[in-house]
Chain A
Amino acid sequence: DQQVKQNSPSLSVQEGRISILNCDYTNSMFDYFLWYKKYPAEGPTFLISISSIKDKNEDGRFTVFLNKSAKHLSLHIVPSQPGDSAVYFCAATTGNYGGSQGNLIFGKGTKLSVKP
């Protein structure tokens, strides 16, 4: 049973518009959430994260929103650029700070295409 779900395998957006990528989770013990971006033939790179004590975190064009009651998070990219075209993975973990934290649970990814 998938604990982290990205229900949209793909998303196409026009350059300059907003991209919204969604992620749902089932495990209420998750307390830290991350988004990674992955280009072909490269490993995932960390994009932005949010702790369960917050409901929003911003970093430049990227904002992550967390709705704990709905067990839902979303990544907003504004404005979208062609260079943002990649696969985006949502990930979650428990007890993020301290100790061994290698056990990230990933969603299956959403392929974002930003058209010029």
Chain B
Amino acid sequence: KAGVTQTPRYLIKTRGQQVTLSCSPISGHRSVSWYQQTPGQGLQFLFEYFSETQRNKGNFPGRFSGRQFSNSRSEMNVSTLELGDSALYLCASKVVGLAADTQYFGPGTRLTVL
């Protein structure tokens, strides 16, 4: 069974640009969550989607948005990039309704903002 895949794996952008990251969940997993990992803040929850609807949202500004498609694939978008947005962005998927420990993480997209 293929794991969670994220594309691209690495990305370099400049301040003010926008970026879109993609996540393909494990087959059969309809819940997709996004996390940001930085050295200073650790892993922080961004949002969760299932059935193409945002179900939970973390404490991030509106520049961070996401969406989910009918095939459960998800994208997250960051507009007007800031230097502080440099981070590893992780996507995780699971079966809706199951416990948090059934969540599988992808390898992440390393975003560098210059």
Verify B100–A96 contact, CB threshold 8 A. yes
Verify B106–A100 contact, CB threshold 8 A. no
Residues of B79-112 contacting chain A, CB below 8 A:
90, 92, 94, 96-108
Bound-state CA distance A97–B44 (Å) is 21
Interface residues on B, range: 20 to 34
Verify B4–A43 contact, CB threshold 8 A. yes
Chain A: minimal CB distance from B29 (Å): 11
Verify A42–B97 contact, CB threshold 8 A. no
Q: A93-B100, A96-B99, A97-B99 are in contact. Are A106 and B44 (CB under 8 A)?
A: yes
Chain A: minimal CB distance from B110 (Å): 9
Binding site for B on A (CB under 8 A): 6, 32, 34, 36, 41-46, 49, 89, 91, 93, 96-109
Binding site for A on B (CB under 8 A): 4, 31, 33, 35, 40-45, 47-48, 50, 55-56, 58, 90, 92, 94, 96-108
